[in-house]
Structure 1
Amino acid sequence: MTYCVGMRLDAGLVFLSDSRTNAGVDQVSTARKLNVFELPGDRMMVLMTAGNLSISQSVRQLLSEHVGASGYSIWNAPNMHEAARLVGEVVRLVHERDAKALAEFGIDFNVSLIFGGQIKGERCRLFQVYSAGNFIESHNENTYFQIGEAKYGKPIIDRVVTPETALDEAAKCALISMDSTLRSNVSVGLPLDLLVYENNALAVTRFVTIDERNEYFQMIRSTWGQQLKTIFEGIAAPVWDSSPQARVSKPVRVPLPESLASGTQPPAAPQSFAQQFDNKQQ
């Protein structure tokens, strides 16, 4: 499984991915899921992938060399929308080539991608691309995308991140989101790739690979857990009769069997052979 998150902010972009691809009992494996397409001074684009690893690797390789029907490649697309369209086109090409053969072995064509970056002359943009090659774009109403095991890391992002959030604050939020996912799902694992991109840099500005020795991430893991526990303990316990105006409610009770309602006990259940044998032994 995978967890990747991409955020589009007024100040730039934040990308974070884990690297676990398998978490079986006797086989734990990793692979990098964050890939950079960079032409310094002209464009910087990031592709993060989830789903079948062979499919996502095929998409990445083909995208690096593919020239679309429009005559553009990822290296000379005039804008990010055209670049995202090329990503979708490549996904469909891989589907056309491999989906039937995979289906014969009972394997679904499963891939999802986060694609974002900046091309000179336009703003930062962020897209989520689906298995069919169609995609949606991030706007102020949905300033981030997640792929893979998203549910554990979603609540903190929903509460914290807005378009006005500073890059460092968004990176911190992404790491807390990842920590929540790591704690609850063994199929997501270290090391992590974190890339923070500043508007108009047109090159990678900040990138780090985070493993279990990273002091900042270890601080995040311990501090976040401690702070959550402190906040939890500071919230008052439930008060069941706090107000005379409180609504009186009763549970839905299942009616008693007729024999119990009349005060008579139901006949005893027949004893098993083993119970009869035990009784004789006593």
Structure 2
Amino acid sequence: MTYCVGLLLKDGIVCLSDTRTNAGLDNISTYRKMFTFTEPGERVILIMTAGSLSVTQTTLARLDEAASDIEATPNTSIMLAPTILQVAEIVGRTLAETSQEVASRMGSNASSASASMILAGQRKDGDMRMFLIYPEGNFIEATADTPYLQIGEHKYGKPILDRVVTPETSLTDAKKAVLLSMDSTLRSNLSVGMPLDLAVIERDALAISQQRRIEAQDPSFAAMSRSWSDALRDAFTKIEV
């Protein structure tokens, strides 16, 4: 399983993903689930993935191949599409086609050939946008009313986002929010695991502004986790029934 979260704010975009794909006593695999496509000054695209590793890896490979094709067109390449909406349409179409192909080969196990993605980015002279793309290729968009999107094991990390995130949230507070959302998920579900990938895209930067790999023993993340646990326990004891 996995957990990925993206925030669409007035100041920029903040995304975080884990890297665990399988969990068990003797079977834990780690694969990157955050991918970036950039042409600095022209466009920045970030994709996070959840679900069937075969589907997601094949989809990303096809998107990358199409982007580097010398005969690519705005209808086939996410690096030539004139808007982020049309990027979402290309990604959705590629994901749906790949899911169907993989499912057709799996027979009775076809139901496991499912994957979803979060796409975020901005093109020059365009708005920042973020989409959740479903296995069938259709998608929904983050809005001012719901400025965040999640895929994978999302339920444990949702409450803090509902309580603290608004479009006006600063990028600094947004990084804190996604990290604490992930910390809650890590504590409650063994199928989500370290290391983590964090990325920030500042408004109109048209590039990845910050990118960081957070390892299992990262001291700042561990300190944040302890502080959050202490704060929750302190608040709990102070509430009267």
1:83 corresponds to 2:87: yes
Q: CA offset at residue 69 of structure 1? A: 8.1
What residue is the counterpart of 1:92 in the other structure? 96
1:133 corresponds to 2:154: no
Partner secondary structure for residue 36 of structure 1: strand
Q: Deviations over 1:35-83 (max 9, x none)?
A: 0011111111100000011111111111112378863411111010000
Partner secondary structure for residue 66 of structure 1: helix
1:28 corresponds to 2:28: yes
Task: Tell me if structure 2 keeps the 8 A contact 1:66–1:90.
Answer: no
What residue is the counterpart of 1:47 in the other structure? 47
C-alpha distance in 2 between matches for 1:158 and 1:105: 35
What residue is the counterpart of 1:154 in the other structure? 158
What residue is the counterpart of 1:275 in the other structure? none
In the alignment of these two chains, the number of paired residues is 237
C-alpha distance in 2 between matches for 1:123 and 1:34: 21
**1:11-22 alignment, distance < 5 Å:** 11-22=11-22
**TM-score, normalization: structure 2?**
0.94
The residue type paired with residue 50 of structure 1 is: A
C-alpha distance in 1 between matches for 2:227 and 2:144: 30
C-alpha distance in 2 between matches for 1:70 and 1:144: 28
C-alpha distance in 1 between matches for 2:124 and 2:141: 18
C-alpha distance in 2 between matches for 1:145 and 1:71: 26
Task: Tell me if structure 1 keeps the 8 A contact 2:50–2:56.
Answer: yes
Q: Structure 1 unaligned segments of length 5 or more: list them.
A: 239-282
Q: CA offset at residue 141 of structure 1? A: 1.1
Aligned CA RMSD, in angstroms, stands at: 1.4
What residue is the counterpart of 1:182 in the other structure? 186
Q: CA offset at residue 183 of structure 1? A: 0.4
**TM-score, normalization: structure 1?**
0.81
Q: Deviations over 1:195-237 (max 9, x none)?
A: 011011111110100012322101111000000000001112x
1:58 corresponds to 2:62: no
The residue type paired with residue 180 of structure 1 is: S
Change (3 A) 1:203 1:23: same
Q: CA offset at residue 155 of structure 1? A: 0.3
| Aligned partner of 2:236 among 217, 232, 235 | 232
C-alpha distance in 2 between matches for 1:205 and 1:91: 27
The residue type paired with residue 154 of structure 2 is: A
**1:200-219 alignment, distance < 5 Å:** 200-219=204-223
C-alpha distance in 1 between matches for 2:64 and 2:83: 16
The residue type paired with residue 91 of structure 1 is: L
Q: CA offset at residue 101 of structure 1? A: 0.8
Task: Tell me if structure 1 keeps the 8 A contact 2:23–2:29.
Answer: yes
Change (3 A) 1:106 1:120: closer
C-alpha distance in 1 between matches for 2:91 and 2:40: 20
C-alpha distance in 2 between matches for 1:122 and 1:72: 20
The answer to which structure, 1 or 2, has the higher relative contact order (CA under 8 A, 6+ apart) is 2
Report runs of 4+ in structure 1 exceeding 2 Å deviation. Answer: 65-72, 103-109
Q: Which of these two proteins has the greater Rg computed from alpha carbons?
A: 1
The residue type paired with residue 201 of structure 2 is: Y
Q: Structure 2 unaligned segments of length 5 or more: list them.
A: none
What residue is the counterpart of 1:2 in the other structure? 2
Task: Tell me if structure 1 keeps the 8 A contact 2:103–2:109.
Answer: no
Q: CA offset at residue 106 of structure 1? A: 5.0
